[in-house]
């Protein structure tokens, strides 16, 4: 599944081609993704895209009359291509732009979403319980410390919970915990304030670096410009079970936490 850096890279990739463009047509080729695509998306015809924002893993295309909300699901991707480009089998939704290009959502598994929010509509329930964005000042080690008190769940599960902080998926949680020297199995409520401050710093650093490098290239995801991400070359623990730790040469182990496998160093992470 594309994680926060990949979604942010998609936003950065399409923004120069879409913002400021007038939408000349809205085409729904498959009306049902994770949820049915609402008829209200057709209101965008004739409107100008004034901004593209991101909230967690959702992209928000803003216009004067409302906001189009996109989610890439498990395997989705966005492309800006010339209007004459032949539509692919899994291109389920597109916006035709006044530049004679179009923004296409390709989603082989159809777990993505296309939603609509009116300008006077209260926040969608999708966003109502989301925690802070990790790359903002609203997110800190102090926040993690306060929210973790009495929590018995593993710290990795805790930081991957979108109610505590959004967008810290499996790859980046694994890398940040390793960098901070925190065992992913430890109970969230038994980690000190100082260690949470360190962990928060590494979460910010790892995510920022991943965005800078273009996102991690996963099997089902490439960047908006079609080029793979490069952060995977810098992964120190994720996907390296059985290999030696880069710090101490101890064999990296894997543990199952919830429905996720987590790689860690039994010597460096406490």
CATH number, domain of 204, equals 1.10.8.50
* Structural domain boundaries, residue 214: 141-264
Question: Are 237 and 156 contained in the same domain?
Answer: yes
Residue 16 covered by a domain: yes
Residue with tokens 């609509």: 116
Q: Decide if 195 is catalytic.
A: no
| Domains held by the chain: number | 2
Catalytic residue among 54, 57, 104, 223: 57
Of 22, 65, 58, give the one whose Cα is nearest residue 40: 65
- Rounded CA-CA distance 253/169 in Å is 19
Q: Decide if 43 is catalytic.
A: no
Catalytic residue among 204, 232, 260, 261: 260
In the chain, which residue ranges form alpha helices assigned H by DSSP?
Answer: 4-18, 125-128, 141-148, 155-159, 170-180, 193-213
Q: pTM, whole model, 2 decimals?
A: 0.90
Residue 131 covered by a domain: no
Could you report the per-residue pLDDT of 40-74, keeping only the tens digit for each?
A: 999 999 999 999 999 999 999 999 999 999 999 98
Q: Decide if 57 is catalytic.
A: yes
CA distances for 76 relative to 56, 91, 221, 227, angstroms = 16, 10, 7, 15
Which element (helix H / strand E) includes 113? strand 113-117
Question: Are 72 and 147 contained in the same domain?
Answer: no
Residue 124 covered by a domain: no
- Angle (nearest 5°) at CA 60 between 118 and 39: 45
Could you report the per-residue pLDDT of 6-29, keeping only the tens digit for each?
A: 899 999 999 999 999 999 999 999
């Amino acid at each position: 599944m594309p994680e926060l850096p990949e979604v942010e890279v998609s936003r950065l990739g399409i923004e120069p081609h879409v913002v400021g463009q007038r939408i000349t047509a809205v085409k729904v080729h498959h009306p049902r993704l994770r949820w049915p695509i609402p008829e209200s998306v057709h209101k965008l015809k004739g409107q100008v895209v004034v901004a593209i924002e991101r909230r967690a893993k959702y992209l928000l295309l803003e216009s004067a009359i409302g906001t189009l909300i996109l989610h890439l699901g498990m395997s989705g991707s966005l492309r800006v291509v010339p209007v004459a480009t032949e539509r692919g089998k899994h291109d389920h939704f597109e916006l035709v732009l006044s530049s004679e290009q179009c923004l296409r959502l390709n989603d082989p598994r159809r777990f993505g979403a296309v939603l609509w929010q009116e300008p006077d509509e209260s926040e969608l329930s999708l966003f109502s319980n989301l925690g802070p964005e990790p790359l903002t000042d609203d997110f800190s080690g102090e926040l993690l410390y306060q929210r973790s008190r009495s929590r018995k769940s593993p710290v990795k599960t805790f930081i991957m919970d979108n109610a505590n902080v959004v967008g810290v998926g499996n790859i980046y949680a694994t890398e940040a915990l390793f960098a901070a020297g925190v065992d992913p199995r430890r109970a969230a409520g038994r980690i000190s304030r100082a260690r949470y401050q360190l962990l928060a710093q590494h979460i910010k650093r790892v995510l920022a670096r991943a965005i800078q490098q273009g996102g991690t290239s996963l099997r089902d995801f490439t960047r908006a410009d079609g080029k793979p991400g490069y952060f995977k070359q810098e992964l120190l623990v994720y996907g390296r079970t059985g290999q030696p730790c880069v710090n101490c040469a101890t064999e990296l182990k894997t543990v199952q936490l919830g429905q996720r496998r987590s790689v860690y160093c039994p010597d460096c992470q406490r």
